[in-house]
């Protein structure tokens, strides 16, 4: 919602472009892949396919980017994906990096936490950037990519499936037509039309706690540090989260009490009063302007299967996760990258169809892991019962005098999921005592004149520590590394150690002493040709 007198797209700082539907379309339409929804996840899927030379048609029923205040935190692992897709530079230029969070209880600081970071890494643990910019920067790359055909104002109306083809009925302001395609990525968001037309439902839980999120513009002189206020004067018994975003925009999330009526709480006067009370808490007395606000409650909902034949669900169409811990967008970005490279490997003849079977176990597994972590955060942020409330308040009171309890007051951040059980992952070599495990996301480190992530090419990469690596193979890029280097230390390497890294930067397998037979078995597992 926007303040009285400002229309839906009248932002204080972002100019929404308005896109037209396509003027001309071919009479017969067939595409290898159609992506429904040009939100962040649809665009990531399209850019990933394009990286491997696979054409897609990208449809969105809107005429512009998502409006209002949505995802604002992008994790390091998402930056690594953006970098691998060659689209990260605008993000680096505009976003605010951060690694620190403060938690307060009744006005007293009880926790100062730092996310792990080091100069070995190309990217910082977290960046704040409004979702409009995330979509704009992705779209600037989509728009000029010859492998992607973007169609705005184009709405999916109906789906007909046969064994080899999916037929999509599309409506735009000028016409209705059908596209036949081999594969579909459904990235059409939380209210997914594709999901409904296929007769699937999200299953899981809804949480009681309700939050108002309000974006305000103000010249507040405080660094990019995430603040969590427990039981502050402005929200007795409740929680407030404060994040800085570019353009002096601040996101204030405040919890509603059980007695508060949602309709009253989102009236403009009430939002202004609540925000002003938070500012009194943090000692800000300057001017400010209200940009946008909304209300939400936490959900942990997901599909039983992220695949229905030739249709793959990615992002919010497949799962809704609580926003504490910045997982909605980041989890979805990993979905889009995951299905993108696997479909591309299959469609370009680099892998058998079996590779597609790994999508659901890997990405659904990641969502369940997010749920496990987010549920802990959500219970702490918005205790679901009186019992949880009493326990939470007891922990916070103890934190005033004992820092060990303060650690509980940290809304956990996103960490990438380890595909340990994936059909594509080689069993971990138990002789390692450190380093990224089989299935984990790679660890960045200085390599050659830059970082390891710069040398990973988008195909499988074998990092061999030692002087005599196996010969280059056409499916795999072989990198030689020094076991006595920072990279060698981080990867617990000795002479002859090898790590196989997948195109999506997860470790496919690792060998303390490289073994060709076991290595070949790992490739067969990955269904590679
Ligand atoms: C208020 C709010 C706050 C949030 N805060 C955070 C946060 O702090 N951190 C975080 O990580 N995440 C947050 N999220 C979640 C994050 O915004 C989503 O996870 C993210 O947008 C998911 O991207 P997506 O591409 O899957 O879906 P969407 O961004 O919803 O995109 C789906 C697209 O599909 C299009 N579409 C829908 N139906 C059709 C159709 N029939 N035909 C054609 N196109 C269609 C829509 O127009 C839309 O553009 C927040 C979400 C909300 C609503």
**Is the CB of residue 158 below 6 angstroms from any atom belonging to ligand 1?**
no
Q: Which part of the chain is CATH 3.40.30.120?
A: 446-525
Q: Which of 52-66, 229-243, 318-332 has the lowest mean pLDDT?
A: 318-332
Residue nearest to atom 44 of ligand 1 (CA): 60
Q: How far apart are alpha carbons 426 and 437 in whole angstroms?
A: 10
**Is the CB of residue 39 below 6 angstroms from any atom belonging to ligand 1?**
yes
Atom of ligand 1 nearest to the CA of 317: 26
Q: How confident is the model at residue 297 (pLDDT cuts 50, 70, 90)?
A: confident
What order do you get walking across the sheet with 319-320 strand by strand?
A: 108-114, 100-105, 226-230, 239-245, 249-256, 203-218, 288-302, 319-320
Q: How far apart are alpha carbons 102 and 409 in whole angstroms?
A: 9
CB 443 within 8 A of CB 436: yes
Burial class of residue 174, CB neighbours in 10 A (0-12, 13-18, 19+): middle
446-525 under CATH 3.40.30.120, yes or no? yes
Atom of ligand 1 nearest to the CA of 157: 41
What's the CA-to-centroid distance between 190 and ligand 1, angstroms?
7
Arithmetic mean of pLDDT over the chain: 91
Q: What is the pLDDT of residue 147?
A: 97
What's the CA-to-centroid distance between 316 and ligand 1, angstroms?
6
Q: Can you tell me the mean pLDDT for 274-283? A: 95
What's the CA-to-centroid distance between 450 and ligand 1, angstroms?
34
The rounded percent of the chain whose pLDDT value lies above 90 is 74
**Is the CB of residue 323 below 6 angstroms from any atom belonging to ligand 1?**
yes
Q: Between vectors from CA 138 to CA 135 and to CA 139, what angle results, nearest 5°?
A: 80
Atom of ligand 1 nearest to the CA of 37: 34
What's the CA-to-centroid distance between 39 and ligand 1, angstroms?
6
- pLDDT (tens digit, 9 = 90+) per residue, 127-177? 999 999 999 999 999 999 999 999 999 999 999 999 899 999 999 999 999
**Is the CB of residue 171 below 6 angstroms from any atom belonging to ligand 1?**
no
pLDDT higher than threshold 80 for residue 425: yes
Q: What is the pLDDT of residue 403?
A: 66
H or E element that contains 471: none
pLDDT higher than threshold 60 for residue 412: no
- pLDDT (tens digit, 9 = 90+) per residue, 456-508? 988 999 999 998 888 767 778 899 999 999 999 999 999 999 999 999 999 99
**Is the CB of residue 226 below 6 angstroms from any atom belonging to ligand 1?**
no
What's the CA-to-centroid distance between 26 and ligand 1, angstroms?
30
**Is the CB of residue 83 below 6 angstroms from any atom belonging to ligand 1?**
no
**Is the CB of residue 523 below 6 angstroms from any atom belonging to ligand 1?**
no
Q: What is the pLDDT of residue 469?
A: 81
Residue nearest to atom 29 of ligand 1 (CA): 39
CB 182 within 8 A of CB 34: no
30-94+128-201+302-369 under CATH 3.50.50.60, yes or no? yes
**Is the CB of residue 70 below 6 angstroms from any atom belonging to ligand 1?**
yes
Atom of ligand 1 nearest to the CA of 316: 26
**Is the CB of residue 330 below 6 angstroms from any atom belonging to ligand 1?**
yes
Q: How far apart are alpha carbons 501 and 366 in whole angstroms?
A: 18
Q: Select the more confidently predicted residue: 522 or 65.
A: 65
Atom of ligand 1 nearest to the CA of 296: 1
DSSP state, 519? H
pLDDT higher than threshold 70 for residue 408: no
Residue nearest to atom 30 of ligand 1 (CA): 189
Q: Select the more confidently predicted residue: 361 or 27.
A: 361
Best of 127, 316, 335, 412 for a ligand 1 pocket test (most atoms within 8 Å of beta carbon): 316
- The torsion of the CA quartet 147, 149, 155, 160, rounded to 10 degrees, works out to -50
Q: What is the pLDDT of residue 50?
A: 98
Atom of ligand 1 nearest to the CA of 213: 1
Q: Select the more confidently predicted residue: 44 or 300.
A: 44
Single pTM value for the model: 0.94
**Is the CB of residue 66 below 6 angstroms from any atom belonging to ligand 1?**
yes
Q: How far apart are alpha carbons 496 and 510 in whole angstroms?
A: 11
pLDDT higher than threshold 80 for residue 290: yes
CB 142 within 8 A of CB 58: yes
CA 155, distance to chain mean position in Å, is: 24
Q: Can you tell me the mean pLDDT for 297-315? A: 94
Q: What is the pLDDT of residue 470?
A: 81
**Is the CB of residue 415 below 6 angstroms from any atom belonging to ligand 1?**
no
Q: Select the more confidently predicted residue: 312 or 369.
A: 312
pLDDT higher than threshold 70 for residue 35: yes
Q: E strands of 365-471, at which residues?
A: 446-447, 450-451, 460-465
Q: Can you tell me the mean pLDDT for 73-87? A: 95
- In the chain, DSSP finds a helix count (H) and a strand count (E) of 14, 25
């Amino acid at each position: 919602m926007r303040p009285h007198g400002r229309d839906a797209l009248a932002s204080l700082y972002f100019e929404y472009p308005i896109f037209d539907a396509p003027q001309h379309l071919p009479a017969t339409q067939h595409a290898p892949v159609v992506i429904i929804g040009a939100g962040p996840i649809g665009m990531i899927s399209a850019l990933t396919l394009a990286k491997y030379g696979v054409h897609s048609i990208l449809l969105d029923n809107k005429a512009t980017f998502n409006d209002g205040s949505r995802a604002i935190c992008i994790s390091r692992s998402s930056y690594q994906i953006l970098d691998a897709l060659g689209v990260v530079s605008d993000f680096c230029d505009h976003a605010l990096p951060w690694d620190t969070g403060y938690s307060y209880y009744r006005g007293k600081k009880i926790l100062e936490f730092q996310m792990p970071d080091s100069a070995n890494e190309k990217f910082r643990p977290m960046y704040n950037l409004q979702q409009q910019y995330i979509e704009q920067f992705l779209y600037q790359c989509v728009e000029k990519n010859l492998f992607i055909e973007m169609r705005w104002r184009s709405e999916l109306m109906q789906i007909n499936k046969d064994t080899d083809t999916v037929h999509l009925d599309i409506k735009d302001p000028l016409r209705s037509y059908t596209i036949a395609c081999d594969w579909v990525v459904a990235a059409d968001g939380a209210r997914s039309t594709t999901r409904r037309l296929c007769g699937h439902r999200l299953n899981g839980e809804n949480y009681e706690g309700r939050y108002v999120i309000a974006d305000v513009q103000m010249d507040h002189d405080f660094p990019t540090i995430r603040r969590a206020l427990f039981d502050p004067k402005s929200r007795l018994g409740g929680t407030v989260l404060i994040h800085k975003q570019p353009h002096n925009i601040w996101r204030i999330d405040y919890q509603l009490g059980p007695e508060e009526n949602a309709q009253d709480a989102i009236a403009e006067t009430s939002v202004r009063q609540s925000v002003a009370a938070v500012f009194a808490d943090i000692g800000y007395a300057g001017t400010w302007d209200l940009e946008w606000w909304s209300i939400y409650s936490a959900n942990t909902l997901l599909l039983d299967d992220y695949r229905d034949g030739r249709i793959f669900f990615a992002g919010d169409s497949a799962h809704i996760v609580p926003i504490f811990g910045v997982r909605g967008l980041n989890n979805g970005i990993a979905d889009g990258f995951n299905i993108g490279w696997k479909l591309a490997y299959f469609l370009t003849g680099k892998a058998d169809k079996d590779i597609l079977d790994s999508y659901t176990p890997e990405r659904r597994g990641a969502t369940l892991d997010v749920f496990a972590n987010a549920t802990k955060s959500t219970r702490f942020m918005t205790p679901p019962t009186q019992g949880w409330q009493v326990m939470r308040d007891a922990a916070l009171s103890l934190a005033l005098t004992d820092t060990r309890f303060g650690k509980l007051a940290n809304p956990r951040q996103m960490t990438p999921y380890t595909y340990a059980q994936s059909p594509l992952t080689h069993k971990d070599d138990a002789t390692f005592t450190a380093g990224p495990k089989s299935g984990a996301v790679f660890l960045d480190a200085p390599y050659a004149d830059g970082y390891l992530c710069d040398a990973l090419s988008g195909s499988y990469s074998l990092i061999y520590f030692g002087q005599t690596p196996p010969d280059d193979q056409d499916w795999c890029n072989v990198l030689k590394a020094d076991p006595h280097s920072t990279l060698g230390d981080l990867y617990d390497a000795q002479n002859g150690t090898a790590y196989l890294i997948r195109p999506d930067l997860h470790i496919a397998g690792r060998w303390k002493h490289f073994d060709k037979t076991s290595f070949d078995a790992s490739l067969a597992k990955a269904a590679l040709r």
